[in-house]
Amino acid sequence: MVSPRANWRGYLKFGEISCSVALYTGASTSERIAFHTVNRDTGHRVRREFIDPVTEEPVDREHQIKGFEIDTDRYVEIEADEVAQAVPESKKLLAVQAFIPCGEIDTVFFDKPYYLAPSGKIADDAFAVIREALRASKVGALAHAVLFRRYRALMIRAQGLGLVAHTLNFDYEVRPAAEAFDGIPKRKVQKEMLDLAKHIIDTKKGEFDPAKFDDRYEAAVAELVKAKLAGKPVKVAKKAKAPKPVDLLEALRASVGGSEPKAAKRKPVKKAA
């Protein structure tokens, strides 16, 4: 088996212990089906160009520069090397700032997953000590580092023989839940409804197995491509039927008993005086 290529190498600093580590991508979308844009008439792949909207002339890479918009069509121009000079210096260091109980960080702050492994045999012992200390204490290490030219916060936890590191969204990047939840009316749930719902949960309990979750979009597109290559007719997926409105209590009872729920009774429309 070919060893994966590390995305980053540096040191994990744990108190006065420094351990050389390699960071690997934990999730990737590179295997997803991707489309190119082609000319319908010629079948040739088209290329993307940057066009100046005023002169309507293409702008080559040499004349492109980053710009931060300060007003309508007004920009502060920034050179690439100026950005590099402004960001914190990369010391190839994952510096642990604090230890947080596992499960205390809201998952909305989790961004991308990575795997951390010791880099070189000399790091094996120190890595094992850090890993087992985190596991025994049931905590994660909150660390900071410059990764891929960005200053990032990471949550590092023990997993198997290695460590899993999630980059974290910053506070300003996470929208307050109240923006979505404030409009939800408060409802007192009937005891029978709650008991029935809990019973449904108890009968459906299981273990998470990611292999059982199929990417239906990828499978459908793959079948579409195969059919087109073979010159076969394209199968049209059936549209899902919209669920009929049913009485909530009856639906819960039917879910437990395995019967069809009764339709919800429509409230009579009051006639205008």
Q: List own/partner pairs for 77-82 with CB under 8 A and 24 or more apart.
A: none
Rounded Cα gap, residues 100 and 25, in angstroms: 23
One-letter amino acid identity for 161? L
CATH class of the structural domain 8-30+87-173: mainly beta
Q: Which residue has the tokens 């994966």?
A: 4
**DSSP per-residue letters across 150-168:** EEEEEEEEEETTEEEEEEE
User: How many Å is the Cα radius of gyration of the chain?
Assistant: 28
Tokens of 20: 């050389």
pLDDT at 266: 56
Rounded Cα gap, residues 14 and 7, in angstroms: 21
pLDDT at 268: 56
Per-residue model confidence as pLDDT tens for the chain (273 residues): 557 889 999 999 988 888 999 999 999 888 888 899 999 999 999 998 999 999 999 999 999 999 999 999 899 999 888 887 777 777 789 999 999 998 899 999 999 999 999 998 899 999 999 999 999 999 999 999 988 888 899 999 999 999 999 999 999 999 999 999 999 999 999 999 999 999 999 998 888 888 888 888 888 888 888 888 888 888 887 887 777 777 888 888 888 886 665 665 555 555 555
pLDDT at 150: 87
pLDDT at 175: 94
For residue 71, the cross-strand partners are 74
Rounded Cα gap, residues 239 and 204, in angstroms: 27
Rounded Cα gap, residues 200 and 255, in angstroms: 7
pLDDT at 125: 94
Rounded Cα gap, residues 141 and 17, in angstroms: 14
Domain ranges of the chain: 8-30+87-173, 187-206+213-267
Tokens of 256: 């437990």
Burial of 22 (0-12, 13-18, 19+ CB in 10 A): buried
Rounded Cα gap, residues 116 and 160, in angstroms: 11
Using the 8-state DSSP alphabet, how is residue 231 labeled? T
